[in-house]
Amino acid sequence: MTHAHTPRRLHGYGVRWDPEGRCYRVRNETTGQWQHGADGELASYTSFTVAFDAWRVFEPPRRLGE
């Protein structure tokens, strides 16, 4: 699913709840792309904690003073 085809309900960055999928989705803050699994489908997480950990991998490094 490309950025142009991402459902409107999932616009944003970081960890988002997908009410239709009843799961959390993760968006890469550096590239703006949604995380996909090995099967090519949007990655889904049932636990916010696990989704947040996946999101932190994509979190851009903070600069000193920001």
Q: What is the pLDDT of residues 39-58, one digit of tens each?
A: 999 999 999 999 988 888 86
Q: Is the residue at 14 inside a domain?
A: yes
DSSP codes of every residue in 25-56: EEE-TTT-PBPB-TTSSBP-BS-HHHHHHHHH
Provide mean pLDDT across the span 8-32.
Answer: 79
Q: Is the residue at 46 inside a domain?
A: yes
Q: Is the residue at 51 inside a domain?
A: yes
Q: Is the residue at 12 inside a domain?
A: yes
> How many structural domains compose the chain?
1
Residue 54 and residue 59: Cα distance in Å, rounded? 9
Q: Is the residue at 66 inside a domain?
A: no
Question: Confidence class of residue 3 from pLDDT cuts 50, 70 and 90?
Answer: very low
Q: Is the residue at 40 inside a domain?
A: yes
Q: Is the residue at 65 inside a domain?
A: no
Residues of the domain holding 32: 3-58
The pTM (predicted TM-score) of the whole model is: 0.68
